[in-house]
Structure 1
Amino acid sequence: MTAFDRVERRIWSGKAEAYARTYARLCAHPAAALLDAAQVGPGSRVLDVGCGSGTVSAAAVARDATVDAVDADPGMVTATRRSVPGAAAVRIAGLPELPYADDTFDAVVGNFVLNHVGRPLAALTELRRITRPGGRVAVTIWRAPAAPGQTLIGRAAQSAGLTRPAWLPALDPDDDFPRTPEGLAALLGAAGFLEAKCSEVAWDHETGAEEWWAGAEQGIGAIGQVLNSRGPEGMAEARRAYDGLSAEFRTQSGQLVLPHVALLAAGTASGVAG
């Protein structure tokens, strides 16, 4: 486990409920397309890795698939069990090492999980190992540069002079990759997936200004650490900036409409693992 992995586990610990109230609905948007890309249907044995609050697992169960799900955070495992009570085998586990034998699954899906691992190539290689030859793996990540809606709180933090805390490590440059369709497709190819393809998924996420702010305020993700890095004074400054910047996205009803862009990539598992 890298320093990046250890910090990710730390900052997500205890955040399952806050995530479910704030950003889970945003991350749920690509779920159907993700399952389509992995060709999940009746009778498929599928693993939802980094299952979060259980949206993708529930959607796979609704397709009459046989579902396993894992997350490194115990709170997320509890949330997924509530989403699919008795309908999926849900357990605590995290990349890059999963407790499954080679060639176990017909399909493996990871919704935004690669954003939270220190060695993305090793993570994908592990997903290939547990997928049967000819099976499908599909993943989503956030695109970089990020869409305007995704950068709103970051812009507010920057306006308040808040910066990334020194204890919050970035991904090692040797493990990073371009967050573009070409970059993610190439990473799947390097992990041994055949016919790897990647496309952009763009949508406008409608949410309330308080709901959108609350997730970061409660410390979710890296942006949550930035926002909380200078205590109440820094938070208040960033909130004033946020209220002003939000006008760019506010509708007449007062809701925010925030453009987002994710990448969705999929490939076919080859017959050679490791």
Structure 2
Amino acid sequence: MGCGAGRHAFELYRRGAHVVAFDLDQDELDGVEKMFGAMRLEGEPPEGATARTVQGDARHLPFPDDSFDKIIASEVLEHIGDDLAAMAELKRVLKPGGRLAVTVPSWLPERVCWALSEDYHTAPGGHIRIYTRAELQAKLKATGFRVDGHHHAHGLHTPYWWIKCAVGVNNDANPLAQAYHKLLVWDIMKRPLATRIAEQALNPVLGKSVVVYFTKPSTPGRPESAGKEKVDAA
């Protein structure tokens, strides 16, 4: 849900899932659909895997009840005015026993970004709230999910966004921002041990995102153990 440019959708497809990439932005979805086609031509997805795109509003998901085994909602709830409606829809379309992974910007790194730049959070389509992990978990628990655990990610990305906010979020020509961006691209492509260790150390404090895992109970109001891996995902 909120697939954006499709990073998670592509990886799920490579791993053999039946993927539905859902987003509000049709232009983004057109690019995702083209990449799905290119992946098929290259033989990247395992036999039997499928992938398609669907456009729509997260507050009114165009899917029947109990449609998906797993859902990823990565960096999307902070953009949605009525986040409780989106959370209710996530629960509705997830199968009983299904798993949900939600990521949102971590409170401390996000608070610094807001303090450094008004443009960062007032641009159309930008972030409209800062979650604490406790708030995110409480809202999804109130919706009916069970909380399974959490971790932080992308500690190396936080300084980049602080730099961007300090020099101007649209100032792509700034030398410092350009240099740090090149470092991040190099790290993503090469994944050297030194930066992996550094990011693991930074994540608990400066991780740009907090990742929280949830389960939709098989029986309402009854705790469930994590089920076996499934193949359908949105």
Give TM-score, length-normalised by structure 2.
Answer: 0.63
CA distance in 2, matches of 1:114, 1:102: 20
SS in structure 2 at match of 1:89: strand
Please tell me whether residue 137 in structure 1 is matched to residue 100 in structure 2.
yes
- Aligned residue type for 2:216: A
Paired residue secondary structure (1:128): helix
Equivalent pairs, count: 187
Q: Equivalent pairs: percent with the same residue?
A: 26
Q: Decide whether aligned partners of structure 1 residues 196 and 121 sit closer, same or farther in structure 2, where only a CA change above 3 A counts.
A: farther
Q: 1:116 to 1:89 in 2, by over 3 A?
A: same
Q: Which moved more, 1:58-67 or 1:179-188?
A: 179-188
Tell me the CA shift for residue 91 of structure 1: 1.6
- 1: CA distance between counterparts of 2:74 and 2:158? 20
Aligned twin of 1:181: 133
Whether contact under 8 Å (2:120, 2:169) holds in the other structure is no
2:152–2:211 contact (8 Å) kept in structure 1: yes
Q: Is the 8 A contact 2:3 2:21 kept in 1?
A: yes
Q: 1:93: Cα distance to partner?
A: 1.2
Question: Over aligned residue pairs, what C-alpha RMSD do you find?
Answer: 4.3
Question: Would the alpha carbon gap of residues 184 and 103 (structure 1) be closer, same or farther in structure 2, given more than 3 Å must change?
Answer: same
Indicate the SS of the match to 2:155: strand
Query: CA offset at residue 182 of structure 1?
Result: 1.9
* Contact 1:96–1:126 (8 Å) recurs in 2: yes
Alpha-carbon distance, 1:272 to partner: 7.1
Amino acid at match of 2:146: L
Counterpart of 2:223? none
CA distance in 2 between counterparts of 1:69 and 1:215 reads 31
TM-score by length of 1: 0.55
Contact 1:50 1:94 in 2 (8 A): no
Task: Verify the 8 A CA contact 1:54 1:81 in the aligned structure 2.
Answer: no
Match in the other structure for 2:231: none
CA contact (8 A) 2:78 2:131 kept: no
- What residue is the counterpart of 2:15 in the other structure? 63
Task: Answer yes or no: is the 8 Å Cα contact 2:158–2:207 preserved in 1.
Answer: no
2:85 aligned with 1:146: no
**Cα deviations across residues 120-179 of structure 1 (Å, max 9, x unaligned)?**
12211101100110011111110122269x73x963x46xxx7976999985xxxx6x62
Measure how far apart 1:271 and its partner are.
4.5
Question: Is it true that 1:78 corresponds to 2:30 in the alignment?
Answer: yes
The reply on whether 1:54 has 2:17 as its aligned counterpart is: no
* Higher helix proportion (structure 1 or 2): 2
1:208 shift after superposition: 8.9
Query: Which of 124, 134, 143 is the matching residue for 1:191?
Result: 143
Whole-angstrom distance in 2 between the partners of 1:75 and 1:166: 19
Q: Which runs of 5+ in 1 are unaligned?
A: 1-48, 220-238
1:272/1:117 CA distance change after superposition, 3 Å: farther
Between the aligned partners of 1:208 and 1:164, the Cα distance in structure 2 is 16
Structure 1 residue matching 2:103: 3-state secondary structure: strand
Shift of 1:180: 2.2
Partner of 1:10: none
Does residue 134 of structure 2 align to residue 217 of structure 1?
A: no
Alignment of 1:1-274 (within 5 A): 49-85=1-37, 87-146=50-109, 151=113, 155=116, 157=117, 171=128, 179-205=131-157, 216-217=169-170, 246=176, 260-271=207-218
Distance 1:167 1:205 in 2: 22
Is the CA contact (8 Å cut-off) linking 1:197 and 1:267 kept in structure 2? yes
Does the CA-based 8 Å contact 2:100-2:214 persist in structure 1?
yes
